[in-house]
């Protein structure tokens, strides 16, 4: 029927993902990360950026500052990506481990069931200097998990690295009926400073192979490659060929491998792997090969490389670009919001919205106003509650009314923030300054999304004043914009938009229906 045709389209749908892993060695961000993000050579078709960092400065004074304000690395990434239409969907920090998920703003209504997890493995599980942080979500109806790990160091700890990875997989569990574990997702991306080394070969042999671009002779002695033949937990994980120099260890500020007294042997410690979920039992044969049926999603790797030009750390960053081809696409928003393109009078300041049948109302529903180019959900200018009255239960279309908006205070410094809100639920709540703290993340986070039904370039995000909710969740709604479909296809932020709106939801126990 017509409803099913909305949810399942016959032609495959592709999603382009750019993944970055970098052990930054407690350094401050470099001045320019353009080439790391591929913005200098990109075609504008990247749908999501996944950034996994290790050894972000987590000294006590620095960590306290990061709790109160957005950390430097997150801020730099947001500042660089937001002009291209990317919004921070979610982030997760565990001491030095940081995971950032960005997506094009017009994709936000179709990223649902967002949750994050952390697992400490340092000092027997009591310290977070080692371990894993993850974010999972449903992307256009397909479950994906991104796992950023920092595993134990040193040549002799290969077995401990595998034990810690297995422990991370066992401990990370998500709510919801589908994909409760990491490996239950349709696609898993595993990346980070995995710390695997090159066995048996001495320093001179390794450096000679690097100097002569004979990387293949080093692959056979790479601990991770060797483990794929014996470790069951690695079954199904794939990795592109290592056609770039080992990314560890360098003298900081140079492209020279370690000349200190320790003289660490070069190694590919920084890796990006992926795995497709198997829906049928694996057949007999060599470990690491998949003979069962997968979920129907196809992953194509377009590039896998290091970036030697970055010298702030003793590691080089590694990036990989993938295309995920899905067999069908969920493309029906949970909430559709319609507003006037321009507000010229108080009478125009209204928002009408309709809900999908499976979207249950909440007393925490709200609609937010955002400036074009917002970076993440705390960048709202104002919001109004969209509470449901008893008379609304059977009504298909709902409406909220915005009160007069302020004419000043919207361009003030982002170094401070103060919210003005009225206890009268009919009054717009205005945030007179830009966001200062970063999103406060709990162990798991859930989002519910909505979208604009017309062909426009629209922004979404949201979470009203934190004092209003004990455990707020963010739901990204759909904006009204004055731009045309051209700006949407180009991926550039809409210019001249008069308003942007979004709807928020409280935590929902049904994880598969929630999302950003």
**Lowest mean pLDDT segment, chosen from 153-157, 221-225, 402-406:** 402-406
pLDDT of residue 70: 80
Structure tokens at 233: 């937990």
Q: What is the mean pLDDT of residues 140-154?
A: 96
pLDDT digits (tens, 9 = 90+) for 277-304: 987 554 444 443 444 456 688 999 999 9
Lowest mean pLDDT: which of 110-114, 134-138, 375-379, 475-479? 475-479
Q: Which pLDDT does position 298 carry in this prediction? A: 94
Work out the percent of the chain whose per-residue pLDDT is above 90.
50
Of 221 and 337, more confident: 221
Q: What confidence score (pLDDT) does residue 423 get?
A: 41
Report pLDDT for 403.
67
More confident of the two residues 84 and 440: 84
**Is residue 435 classed as helix, strand or coil in its secondary structure?**
coil
**pLDDT band, residue 61 (cuts 50/70/90):** low
**More confident position, 430 or 515:** 430
Architecture of domain 16-282+291-325: 4-Layer Sandwich (3.60)
At 13 the pLDDT is 85
Is it the case that residue 315 has pLDDT exceeding 60? yes
Average of per-residue pLDDT values in the chain? 77
Residue 21 in this model has a pLDDT that exceeds 80: yes
Q: Report whether pLDDT(489) > 70.
A: no
Q: DSSP string spanning 80-113? A: HHGGGTEEEEEEEEETTEEEEEEEEGGGGGGEEE
- Name the residue ranges covered by the structural domains of the chain: 16-282+291-325, 335-401
- Res 507: pLDDT: 36
Sequence-separated (6 or more) residues with CB below 8 Å from residue 361: 355, 388, 392
Pairwise CA distance, residues 168 & 149, whole Å: 9
Tokens read off for 513: 């229906």
Q: Please tell me the distance from the alpha carbon of residue 52 to that of residue 100, in angstroms, as a whole number.
A: 7
Check residue 366 and report its DSSP letter: E
What pLDDT is attached to residue 255?
96
Q: Is the pLDDT of residue 81 over 60?
A: yes
Provide the pLDDT for residue 43.
Answer: 75
Q: Residue 355 has which token pair?
A: 């809900």
């Amino acid at each position: 029927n017509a409803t099913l045709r909305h949810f399942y389209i016959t032609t495959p749908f592709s999603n382009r993902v750019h993944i970055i892993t970098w052990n930054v060695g407690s350094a401050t961000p470099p001045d320019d990360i353009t080439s790391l993000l591929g913005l200098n050579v990109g075609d504008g078709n990247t749908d999501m950026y996944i950034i996994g960092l290790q050894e972000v400065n987590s000294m006590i004074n620095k960590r306290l500052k990061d709790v109160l304000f957005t950390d430097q690395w997150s801020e730099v990434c947001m500042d660089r990506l937001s002009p291209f239409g990317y919004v921070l969907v979610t982030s997760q920090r565990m001491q030095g481990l940081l995971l950032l998920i960005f997506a094009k703003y017009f994709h936000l209504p179709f990223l649902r069931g967002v949750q994050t997890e952390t697992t400490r493995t340092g000092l027997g599980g009591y310290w977070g200097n080692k371990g894993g942080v993850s974010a999972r979500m449903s992307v256009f109806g397909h479950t994906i998990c991104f796992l950023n790990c920092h595993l134990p160091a040193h040549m002799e700890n290969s077995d401990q690295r595998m034990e810690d990875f297995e422990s991370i997989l066992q401990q990370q569990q998500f709510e919801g009926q589908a994909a409760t574990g990491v490996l239950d997702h349709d696609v898993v991306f595993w990346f980070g400073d995995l710390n695997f080394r090159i066995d048996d070969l001495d320093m001179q042999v390794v450096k000679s192979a690097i100097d002569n671009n004979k990387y293949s002779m080093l692959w056979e002695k790479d601990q991770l490659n060797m483990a794929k033949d014996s470790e069951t937990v690695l079954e199904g994980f794939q990795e592109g060929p290592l056609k770039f120099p080992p990314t560890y260890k360098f003298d900081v500020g140079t492209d020279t491998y370690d000349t200190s007294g320790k003289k660490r042997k070069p190694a590919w410690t920084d890796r990006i792997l992926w795995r497709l979920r198997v829906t049928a039992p694996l057949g007999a044969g060599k470990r690491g090969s998949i003979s069962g049926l997968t979920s129907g999603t196809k992953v194509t790797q377009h590039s896998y490389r290091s970036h030697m030009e970055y010298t702030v750390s003793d590691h080089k960053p590694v990036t990989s670009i993938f295309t995920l081809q899905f067999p069908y696409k969920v493309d029906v928003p949970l909430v559709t919001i319609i507003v006037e393109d321009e507000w010229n009078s108080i009478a125009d300041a209204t928002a009408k919205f309709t809900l999908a049948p499976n979207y249950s109302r909440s007393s925490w529903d709200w609609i937010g106003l955002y400036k074009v180019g917002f970076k993440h959900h705390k960048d709202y200018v104002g919001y109004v509650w969209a509470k449901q009255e008893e008379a609304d239960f059977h009504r298909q279309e709902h409406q909220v009314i915005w009160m007069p908006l302020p004419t000043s205070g919207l361009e003030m410094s982002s170094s401070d923030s103060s919210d003005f809100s009225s206890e009268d639920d009919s009054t717009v709540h205005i945030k007179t300054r830009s966001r200062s703290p970063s999103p406060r993340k709990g162990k798991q986070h859930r989002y519910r999304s909505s979208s604009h039904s017309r062909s426009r370039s629209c922004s979404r995000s949201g979470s009203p004043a934190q004092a209003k909710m004990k455990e707020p969740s963010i739901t990204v709604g759909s904006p009204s914009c004055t731009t045309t479909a051209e700006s949407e296809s180009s991926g550039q932020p809409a210019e001249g938009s008069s308003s942007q709106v979004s709807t928020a939801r409280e935590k929902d126990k049904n994880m598969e229906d929630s999302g950003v």
